[in-house]
């Protein structure tokens, strides 16, 4: 199979780059297709990945992230650091310099005032900005002069590169959005659908949840780019049809998110019209163990709360046995193929942040059985299901409706049955499962099941906020309307203390060390989270499209200006 990882991709593109010296707009049209259609071109009003990727072709941040997770200047002249004085010595402020001569696509100049406005726009209390966390801890943003932006934090900030960094937090034009601040934000349909930007393309036509038509930006800062005169993103369908449109019929040049069964990947790649590329971020498919009792016999309000510990999953031996019984390489082979790898970590990357924990990778059914025996679970009545004190070892295992997840459920059920655990499966509509509706019994936060499976990831290479999800205070409870990210209701004061320490540590090596320790605490030390597969995003591009460099840390289309037609 013709697949390259992000790293190989970087090498390959370097090799191809001489061909990229095309003139602006000489390569015709580039056609992209997304399985989910684009709803809005303003990333601050949408959290959907599809919208963020599409808008990244038009709107740009001060700095982006490379496939390796390092910073690269976009609108900024250079990356401010402690060394060049851009970041103050006490880490309480960062000063960005804009590149000289930057223009919006309408011809007006980009100034520091636009950045200040962007910050005000996203932090307005009535605006409902979905990227508010990017500006968390920012006390003020000032325009020192037209080209200098000073961001001041309310304390030392270990990672000052969140505001105005990556496709999640681009700069929007003050002149266009001035009347759209706060409660008025959603009413500015034209601005939200056709924002004026600095990126290589500008929107020329937008049909909601269908097609975005774009043309090259005549004022783009690199006069030789983009190579394509026009671009379009067609949305809708599913992963299968998107992949087919690139790999088999050749109607499209690029398809994002084409996760299809490994066999189909191979068959489509064999057609020879294109190739799949995969980028590994931190997305991990995992089984979360419930530490509280989800029994329906408990009264509402006490069910699945810390008041009642789980009858058997609170025993680490049971949790460990369940993890040992799983063969993660078979899961990858069946579900993801080249789009996944077995993992034992919640933080599987990038390099330096990932723990070297690999103990779970070898399946050990006998060991799992022995552990259960040790924990007192024996099959006393000979029906193949272990029991203890008259209670059977019965697990309700829930996840969302998704063909790969249903395959995983079937396999894991088989393994758990082999070690004498009775398993009941349940699948839930993803809109309900992830919806967080406090009235529904089926949300993942309520966790009215013994174990549940889904995927989650850290948005940034630096996993601080991601790891802080497992703090005691973040457990969903009836009092918090079941909102909260600590799905397992894991609670360890030592863990909370380490998170606090991480928040004040600025030394990179030390931070990584703490993150690895935290990762181990929720995985191998406690088996509260049972990671299964480190998932990549699988995308497809045609052989006629050059310059694609897939990226897990920023928009996948981060270097669309460099794309060109292979002739």
Partner 1 sequence: MTDASTTPPKPASQLRDIWQQFRTHKGALFGLITLSILVLAVLIGPYLWIPDDLTVAQEMKIKNQGPSLRFPLGTDQLGRDMLSRVLLAGRVSLAVGFVAMVIAIVFGTFIGIVAGYFRRMEGPLMRLTDMFLALPLIPLLLVMVMLFRDKVAAIIGPELGAFLLIVFAIGITSWMATARIVRGEVLTLKEREYVLAARSIGARPNRIILRHILPNVVSPVMVAATLGVADAIITESVLSFLGLGFPPDFPTWGRLLNDGLQYMQIYPERIIWPGLAISLTVLSVNYIGDGLRDALDPRIRGR
Partner 2 sequence: MLTFTLRRLLLAIPTLLVISLVIFLLVDLAPGSPLSQIPLTVPPDVRQKMIEALGADQPVMFRYVLWLRQFFWVEPMNLFDGWFGTHIVEGEQRILSWQSRSPVFSIIGERIPQTLIVIGTAYLVGILIALPIGIYSAYRQYSLFDQIGTLFAMIGFSVPTFFSGTLFIIIFSVWLGWLPTKYDTTLQVIDWASFLEQIKQMILPVMTLGLANAASISRYMRSSMLDNMGMDYVRTARAKGLSERVVVLKHVLRNSLIPVVTVIALGIPSIFGGAIITENLFGVNGIGAALIGAIQASDIPMVQTLAFIFAVLIVLFNLIADVLYGFLDPRIRYD
Instruction: Tell me the Cα Rg of the chain.
Output: 25
Binding to partner 2, residues 248-267 (CB under 8 A) = 248-249, 251-252
The residue range among 37-45, 47-55, 400-408, 450-458 that interacts with partner 1, by the rule CB under 8 A, is: 400-408
Q: Which residues contact 362 (CB under 8 A, 6 or more apart)?
A: none
CA angle 559, 49, 42 (to 5 degrees): 85
Shortest gap between Cβ of 405 and partner 1 (angstroms)? 8
Of the candidate residues 410, 494, 497, 566, the single one contacting partner 1 (CB under 8 A): 410
Q: Which residues contact 437 (CB under 8 A, 6 or more apart)?
A: 443
Q: In this structure, what are the phi and psi dihedrals at residue 413, rounded to the nearest 5 degrees?
A: -60, -45
Compare residues 56 and 539 and give the one whose CB is closer to partner 1.
539
Q: Applying CB under 8 A, does 421 fall inside the site for partner 1?
A: no
Say which entry of partner 1, partner 2, none residue 1 contacts (CB below 5 to 8 A, set by partner kind): none
Tokens of 251: 């109607």
For 494, the 3-state DSSP assignment is helix
Compare residues 326 and 354 and give the one whose CB is closer to partner 1.
326
Cα(2)–Cα(365) distance, rounded to whole angstroms?
35
The residue range among 175-183, 420-428, 454-462, 501-509 that interacts with partner 1, by the rule CB under 8 A, is: 420-428
Q: Nearest Cα to 547, choosing from 35, 200, 170?
A: 200
240: left (phi over 0), alpha (psi -120 to 50) or beta: alpha
Q: Are strands 451-456 and 148-153 parallel, antiparallel or unpaired?
A: unpaired
- How remote is the C-alpha of 431 from its chain's centroid? 18
Say which entry of partner 2, partner 1, none residue 426 contacts (CB below 5 to 8 A, set by partner kind): partner 1
- Rounded to the nearest 10°, the torsion over CA 293, 295, 296, 298 is -50
Compare residues 280 and 448 and give the one whose CB is closer to partner 1.
448
Cα(75)–Cα(61) distance, rounded to whole angstroms?
6
Site string for partner 2, 438-467 (x = CB under 8 A): -xx-xx------------xxxx-----xx-
Cα(79)–Cα(351) distance, rounded to whole angstroms?
21
Binding to partner 1, residues 428-457 (CB under 8 A) = 428-429, 432-433, 439-442
Cα(18)–Cα(13) distance, rounded to whole angstroms?
9
Q: Applying CB under 8 A, does 125 fall inside the site for partner 2?
A: yes
Q: Applying CB under 8 A, does 48 fall inside the site for partner 2?
A: yes
| CA-to-CA dists, residue 297 to 304, 380, 448, 477, angstroms | 11, 25, 12, 18
Q: Tokens 């005032």 correspond to what residue?
A: 113
- Rounded to the nearest 10°, the torsion over CA 501, 504, 508, 512 is 20
Compare residues 16 and 438 and give the one whose CB is closer to partner 2.
438
Q: What is the DSSP string of 192-231?
A: HHS---SSSEEEEEEETTTEEEEEE-TT-SSTT--S-SEE
Q: In this structure, what are the phi and psi dihedrals at residue 417, rounded to the nearest 5 degrees?
A: -65, -40
Say which entry of partner 2, partner 1, none residue 17 contacts (CB below 5 to 8 A, set by partner kind): none
| Other beta carbons less than 10 A from residue 49's beta carbon | 18
Binding to partner 2, residues 211-250 (CB under 8 A) = 211, 213, 232, 234-238, 241, 244-245, 248-249
Q: Applying CB under 8 A, does 424 fall inside the site for partner 1?
A: yes
Say which entry of partner 1, partner 2, none residue 361 contacts (CB below 5 to 8 A, set by partner kind): none
**DSSP run (H or E) holding 50:** helix 49-55
Compare residues 235 and 294 and give the one whose CB is closer to partner 2.
235
Shortest gap between Cβ of 204 and partner 2 (angstroms)? 10
Whether 172 and 114 have beta carbons less than 8 Å apart is answered as yes
Shortest gap between Cβ of 114 and partner 1 (angstroms)? 42
Tokens of 226: 């983009």
Compare residues 178 and 333 and give the one whose CB is closer to partner 1.
333
Binding to partner 1, residues 208-247 (CB under 8 A) = 240
Compare residues 136 and 422 and give the one whose CB is closer to partner 2.
136
Of the candidate residues 104, 415, 466, 495, the single one contacting partner 1 (CB under 8 A): 415
| CA-to-CA dists, residue 340 to 53, 260, 279, 326, 444, angstroms | 22, 12, 10, 16, 23
Q: Applying CB under 8 A, does 267 fall inside the site for partner 1?
A: yes
Binding to partner 2, residues 159-178 (CB under 8 A) = none
Shortest gap between Cβ of 349 and partner 2 (angstroms)? 16
Q: Tokens 């990210």 correspond to what residue?
A: 485
Binding to partner 2, residues 464-483 (CB under 8 A) = 465-466, 480, 483
Binding to partner 2, residues 128-147 (CB under 8 A) = 128-130, 132-133
Q: Applying CB under 8 A, does 261 fall inside the site for partner 1?
A: yes
Compare residues 18 and 439 and give the one whose CB is closer to partner 2.
439
Q: Applying CB under 8 A, does 106 fall inside the site for partner 2?
A: no
Say which entry of partner 1, partner 2, none residue 15 contacts (CB below 5 to 8 A, set by partner kind): none
Residues forming contacts to partner 2 in the complex (CB under 8 A) are 33, 36-37, 39-40, 42, 45-49, 125-130, 132-133, 183, 185-187, 189, 192-193, 205, 207-211, 213, 232, 234-238, 241, 244-245, 248-249, 251-252, 429-437, 439-440, 442-443, 456-459, 465-466, 480, 483-485
């Amino acid at each position: 199979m013709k697949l390259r990882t992000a790293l190989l991709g970087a090498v390959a593109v370097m090799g191809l780059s001489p061909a990229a010296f095309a003139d602006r707009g000489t390569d015709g049209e580039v056609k992209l297709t997304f399985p989910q259609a684009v709803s809005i071109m303003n990333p601050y009003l949408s959290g959907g990945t599809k919208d963020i990727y599409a808008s990244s072709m038009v709107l740009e941040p001060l700095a982006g992230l490379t496939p390796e997770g390092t910073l690269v200047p976009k609108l900024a002249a250079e990356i401010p650091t402690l060394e060049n004085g851009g970041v103050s010595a006490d880490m309480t402020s960062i000063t960005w310099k804009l590149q000289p001569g930057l223009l919006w696509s309408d011809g007006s100049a980009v100034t520091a005032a636009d950045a200040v406005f962007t910050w005000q726009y996203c932090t307005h209390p009535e605006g409902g900005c979905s990227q508010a966390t990017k500006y968390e801890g920012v006390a003020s943003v000032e325009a020192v002069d037209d080209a200098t932006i000073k961001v001041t934090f309310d304390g030392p900030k270990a990672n000052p590169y969140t505001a105005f960094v990556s496709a999640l937090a681009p700069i929007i034009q003050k002149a266009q959005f001035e009347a759209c601040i706060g409660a008025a934000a959603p009413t500015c349909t034209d601005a939200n659908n056709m924002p004026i930007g600095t990126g290589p393309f500008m929107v020329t036509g937008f049909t909601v949840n269908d097609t975005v038509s774009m043309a090259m930006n005549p004022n783009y800062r690199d006069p030789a780019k983009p190579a394509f005169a026009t671009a379009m993103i067609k949305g809708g369908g599913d992963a299968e049809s998107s992949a087919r449109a690139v790999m088999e019929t050749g109607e499209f040049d690029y398809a994002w998110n084409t996760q299809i069964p490994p066999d189909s990947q191979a068959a489509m790649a064999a057609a020879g019209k294109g190739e799949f590329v995969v980028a590994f971020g931190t997305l991990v498919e995992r089984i979360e163990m419930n530490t509280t009792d989800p029994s329906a016999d408990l009264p509402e309000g006490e069910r699945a709360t810390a008041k009642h510990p789980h009858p058997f999953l609170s025993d680490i031996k049971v949790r460990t046995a369940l993890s040992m019984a799983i063969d993660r390489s078979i899961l990858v082979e069946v579900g993801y193929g080249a789009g996944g790898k077995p993992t034992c970590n919640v933080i599987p990357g990038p390099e330096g942040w990932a723990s070297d924990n690999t103990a779970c990778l070898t399946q050990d059914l006998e060991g799992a059985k022995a552990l259960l025996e040790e924990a007192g679970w024996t099959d006393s009545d000979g029906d193949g299901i272990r029991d203890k004190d008259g209670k059977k070892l019965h697990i309700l295992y829930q996840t969302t409706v998704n063909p790969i997840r249903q395959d995983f459920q079937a396999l894991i059920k088989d393994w758990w049955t082999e070690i004498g655990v009775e398993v009941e499966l349940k699948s839930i509509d993803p809109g309900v499962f992830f919806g967080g509706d406090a009235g529904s019994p089926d949300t993942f936060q309520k966790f009215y099941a013994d174990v549940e499976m889904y995927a989650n990831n850290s948005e940034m290479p630096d996993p601080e906020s991601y790891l802080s999800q497992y703090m005691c205070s973040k457990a969903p409870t009836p009092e918090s309307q079941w909102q909260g990210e600590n799905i397992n209701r894991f609670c360890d004061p030592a863990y909370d203390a380490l998170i606090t320490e991480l928040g004040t540590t600025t030394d990179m090596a030390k931070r990584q060390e703490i993150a690895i320790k935290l990762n181990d605490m929720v995985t191998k030390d406690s088996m509260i989270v049972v990671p299964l597969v480190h998932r990549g995003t699988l995308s497809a591009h045609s052989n006629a499209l050059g310059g694609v460099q897939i990226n897990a840390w920023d928009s996948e289309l981060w270097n669309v200006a460099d794309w060109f037609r292979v002739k």
